[in-house]
Amino acid sequence: MKKFYLQYFILIHLLVLTFFFVFFSALIHNREIDLNLSHLERIKKNRVLRFISTNSIKTCYWYNNRLTGFEYDLAREFADFLNVDLDIVTPGRNNMFSYLEQGKGDFIAAGLAITKKRLEDVNFSIPYMTVQQHIVHHKLVFGPKNIEDLNFQTIDVPRGTSYHARLEEIKNSGIDLNYILHDNIPTEDLIQMVSNQEIKFTVTYDTMAYLNQRYYPDIRIGIPVQEKEYLAWAVNKNDSQLLEQMNKFFLYANETGILNRIKDKYYSNIENTDLFDLKIFHHRIKTRLPKYKKIIMEESMKYDFDWKLLAAAIYQESHFNPNAISFTNVRGLMQVTTATAEEMGIENRLIPAQSIKAGIKYLDKMAKRFDHLEDEYERMLFALASYNVGYGHVMDAVQIAEDMGLDGTRWHNLKAVLPLLSKSKYYAKTQYGYARGWEPIQYVERILTYFDILKQKKNH
């Protein structure tokens, strides 16, 4: 009996050993296969593309429990181009290049300028944007008029950035400036410190400066300190296949309008900022918006709208003034017409709650007419334009765009043709005739500016 148990025990152990031998052999075999694959092939096999970036308004950030931002949207399009999922790695700006070298991410997409020093370590894609470095200072601080005026000045910048490299060059050229380097602090934090007069100067790209001027209207954009630079994505030196696909993607994104659409979403109209208007808006966010915030949130929730976007639209309509009356006699917070008030079932459009209910309900009606648009963001832009100029005029502009061979489902194409509704050559052939087509463009752009500001306000 003991002999039987011994034989049984030996047999079980042999089976277990055989299993582990086969299992680990398969692992080793698969590992060898993986090692033989190129980086691009492993990305496609694992179906995940990891991009290294920073948490910043110019790259990617969380809003309404969703990632958004210029670099994130562009990287997501690249992942779709490769037919893989997208993952993000945010190790802090100072650690991005070491993460890339260690294989903890596949490429860097973080608003990087192509510099000689960086070219020693990485390869860059085709550039996707041109930028220029500028001094940023408070409106009460006299900014330098030229590079020589930087003598004896102190400038705060993030360590390891192209701003840091440029100030080093200026100092080495004989300008006696002092610069303070900050580790893993976003540029927008330094801009806020300038706005609060905690520091005197910082340096950033023009795009970043104009964007932040929306949030801090007391800052001023000073002299350029560098020639034009080019932003691009970075890959490891030996990663030629991924670089090739990246460049193919950028060519594709240029040809199809993807790149322009994303640029338009985040950087449209940033230079045409009315600082006085923005100062008033920031003030009225504190003094007027709280009276209507609850009802705006409640009504927005009914239709699955972002309440901050609706608040921005209401401000554009009336500056949160419930007694506002336009020259065309539309009235109230959402400037509802008599006909629309009746259609939406309200009795008094000067009562704030009724005006908000009617306006949001009508905007939902407009949005539903564009359900065929795949992009939710663009659907809302079409709806807002229709709220302003009328659905019929928007559809006339869509027809003009399509007659010109443009994609009539894209807002940046609609912006190009809406002004044509004021020209007889075009409106004579339309169903609804003449319209001041530039007005809905300005209307939507202002709403998007106010919306962008509200998105960055954590306490509103």
Q: Give the DSSP letter string of 204-255.
A: EEHHHHHHHHHH-TTEEEEEE-S--EEEEEEEETT-HHHHHHHHHHHHHHHH
Cβ atoms of 48 and 85 closer than 8 Å = yes
Active site residue 343: no
Q: Which residue has the tokens 């079409």?
A: 382
3-state class (DSSP) for residue 90 = coil
Q: Please state, in angstroms and rounded to a whole number, the distance separating the CA atoms of residues 445 and 170.
A: 38
DSSP category for residue 407? -
Q: DSSP states of 287-320 as a string?
A: HTHHHHHHHHHHHHHHTT--HHHHHHHHHHHHTT
What lies within 8 Å, CB to CB, of 186 at 6+ separation is 54, 55, 56, 93, 158
CA dihedral 381, 382, 385, 390 (to 10 degrees): -160
The full length of the chain comes to: 460
**Kind plus residue range of the DSSP H or E element containing 66:** strand 66-68
Cβ neighbours, 10 Å, residue 237: 12
Half-sphere exposure of 301 (CA within 13 A, CB side): 6
From the centroid of its chain, how far is CA 434? 34
> Tell me, what DSSP letter sits at residue 56?
B
d(CA 211, CA 265): 12
Q: CB within 8 A of 235, min separation 6: which ones?
A: 100, 106, 107, 108, 122, 123, 124, 125, 242, 243, 246
The CB-side HSE value for 271 (13 A sphere, CA atoms) comes to 4
From edge to edge, which strands make up the β-sheet containing 154-158?
178-182, 154-158, 201-205, 133-138, 219-224
The C-alpha atoms of residue 151 and residue 456 are separated, in whole angstroms, by: 35
Q: Which of 188, 229, 299, 317 is catalytic?
A: 317
Task: Give catalytic residue positions.
Answer: 317
